[in-house]
Structure 1
Amino acid sequence: MVSHSLSYRSGCVNRRFELNGPALFGGTVESLRSGEWSYKNKGRYLQKRYKNSQTRTITLSAIDKQVLQDFLDTCDADVENNTPATLVADDCETLCFIVKDEAKHVSPLLAQTELTVLLIDGVWREPIRQSYTMDIVDQTGLDYDYDYSLVQMNGDITNPQLVTLDCDLTIYGPVTNPQISIANNVYQVSIDVPDTYRLSIDSREKTVILIDSLGTSRNVLDNASFVDGKNIFAPVPPGSHPVLWSNEFDFDVTLWVKKGRLPWTI
């Protein structure tokens, strides 16, 4: 019995394939639970340590051969377009390419192939998500180091790891020139975000995108702040930190926990 989900989300088209579903089945994918560091040691110390791209194998069984063919064609398209796909297991995800498939079994009822998966950066990411919504405050405001209008401490967020974590933000309009303070850094974009629009800040892709209600997007990276203490892509350090904002808009914060392998708890 496989209790976890496993899916492939294409990088070049808006399409997702379930790899532990009724048509395709990848099983427990033991190889994805292995991790490896690249390193250069000097005496008792690691002079360099980093994660390189790594290859893993998945044995994929298919009851529906047309779905299998569509999946492999999409994998080829991602490679040809150099647009990494996202492999998702429950809440964990990693960027990948399917660089090889080798047929293992063919019969009228079942096809089976072995996939070679290139994990591009050798790490998995698991999100810590938290939402913040507007609340009623009085008109006095509070005195903080940053120049906010009617700033209120609306909550906090915790990085439970021993290292800094990448931070993504989604800000919902209407709001003008939104600012959010986390851990002594202000995430600031000088732009008008109309009603039904959202502002998406992606720390891994280094993008700041304004998206309307129809999904049409516009690059607004030049409107973001990158100065010391106001870095739109600043990671969040370990520990618990207050979250401050003007209380004039709703937003989501996502911290990304990096893991060297697919967790055994999945």
Structure 2
Amino acid sequence: MQSLEYVCAATGERIGFEGPLYGETLTGLRARVWDYSLASRGMTGITRKAREATVTVKIHDSPATLDLLRRLADADMASGNPGTLVADGEWEAKAWITKSEPQSITPTMVETQLTIVLADGVWRRPTMTHFTPRYDSGTADLDYPYDYPRDFAGMALGAEIVNDTSIPQPVKLTIFGPCAQPYVIIGNNRYEVDVTVPSGSRLEIDGTGDVRTVTMVSGTGLVTNCFAQAVRGSGKDSGRYVFQPLAPGTQPISWPGGFQFDLTVCEERSEPPWT
């Protein structure tokens, strides 16, 4: 981790740990922590939960920087919404700065210990890939004598996505209209929502957060909840689960022709990058 900054959720302002705060190695944030319960012959409830970490920072421009730190931390604490720690410009963790306890004070520097609560104990790095239909060369469009809003074609083939980690990773799909009853097949799972997406609108299927959502966003910004129309099969690993995480390895992708979509894979890890 070469750089770290805190982004206030309430105001959008930022403060860096390479200046005006100086956090050196920030060892308290580098722990790898899983939560679990011991059973008679193993473990249950394996997950990553909110956790506290402490880091010591030095502040040379004391009054102005301390006031900025207090203002940003208090704004997010008062709103109840966590800010975001951003490591190396790409890894993000939702967090609150809950305490600042001075350790030493001189005329030129204040050293203080910060208590940081990582909201879900996870650092995330989203990577987005845009997909444009490429049709099976052996299938031509079927042009009907009536003016349907779209012609009919085979599947768009030849695409793939790689998860080069060792565990499944959550994904977000953004499907751009016009299309009806859109679905995307990734590996052995079909992601499908029983809606019509008008031209200029987009359908967002987001399985990357603690609360999973399916929303339609119109060209004017109107947001409609489409969770009830999402196909969820019998749950995870059923083959028709709209929030199925991406399995490790290389996965083939296919979908009906006529629409484009973005696939965002959100890599998760317990600690920020070391390098």
- What is the TM-score with the length of structure 2 in the denominator? 0.76
Distance 1:216 1:5, change over 3 A: farther
2:177 aligned partner:
173
Asked whether the equivalents of residues 65 and 111 of structure 1 are also in contact (C-alpha less than 8 Å), the reply is no
Selected match of 2:231 from 225, 228, 232: 225
1:80 equivalent in structure 2: 78
Say if 1:128 and 1:255, in contact at 8 Å, map to a contact too: yes
1:115 aligns with 2:114: yes
Q: Paired residue for 1:200?
A: 204
- 1:135 positional shift: 4.0
Give the counterpart of 2:34 among 24, 28, 37.
Answer: 37
Counterpart in the other structure of 1:182: 186
CA shift for structure 1 position 216: 4.8
User: Deviation at 1:118?
Assistant: 0.9
Quote how far apart the aligned CAs of 1:260 are: 2.1
- Preserved contact between residue 141 and residue 151 of structure 1 (Cα < 8 Å): no
Larger Rg: 2
Residue 139 of structure 2: SS of its match in structure 1? Answer: coil
Asked if the contact 1:17/1:71 (under 8 Å) is kept, the reply is no
Q: Report the secondary structure of 1:74's partner residue.
A: helix
Q: In the aligned structure 2, how far is the partner of 1:39 from the partner of 1:230?
A: 29
* Cα distance change on mapping 1:24 and 1:175 into 2, 3 Å: farther
Deviation digits for residues 225-256 of structure 1, max 9, x if unmatched? 21243222111222211111123222221222
Residues of 1 paired with 2:100 and 2:243: CA distance? 37
Superposed displacement of residue 4, structure 1: 2.8
Closer, same or farther in 2 for the Cα pair 1:29/1:218, shift >3 Å? farther
2:54 to 54, 57, 62: 57
| Distance in 2 between residues matched to 1:192 and 1:14, nearest whole Å | 36
Amino acid in structure 1 at the alignment position of 2:53: R
Percentage of pairs with the same residue: 30
Aligned positions, number? 257
2:170 and 2:179 map into 1 onto residues whose CA distance is 24
Alignment match of 1:89 (pick from 87, 90, 99): 87
Partner of 2:257: 247
Q: Distance in 2 between matches of 1:86 and 1:262?
A: 13
Supply the distance in 2 between the matched residues of 1:35 and 1:118 (Cα, whole angstroms).
14
TM-score (norm 1): 0.79
Which of 241, 245, 249 is 1:235 aligned to?
245
Query: Greater CA deviation, 186-195 or 67-76?
Result: 67-76
SS in structure 2 at match of 1:78 = helix
What's the Cα RMSD here? 3.2
Native 8 Å contact 2:97 2:115 kept in 1: yes
Q: Does 1:211 align with 2:221?
A: no
Q: Please state how far the C-alpha of 1:96 moved relative to its aligned partner.
A: 1.7
Q: Any conservation in 2 of the 1:167–1:253 contact (CA below 8 Å)?
A: yes
The question of 1:262 aligning with 2:272 is answered: yes
Q: Is the 8 A contact 1:169 1:201 kept in 2?
A: yes
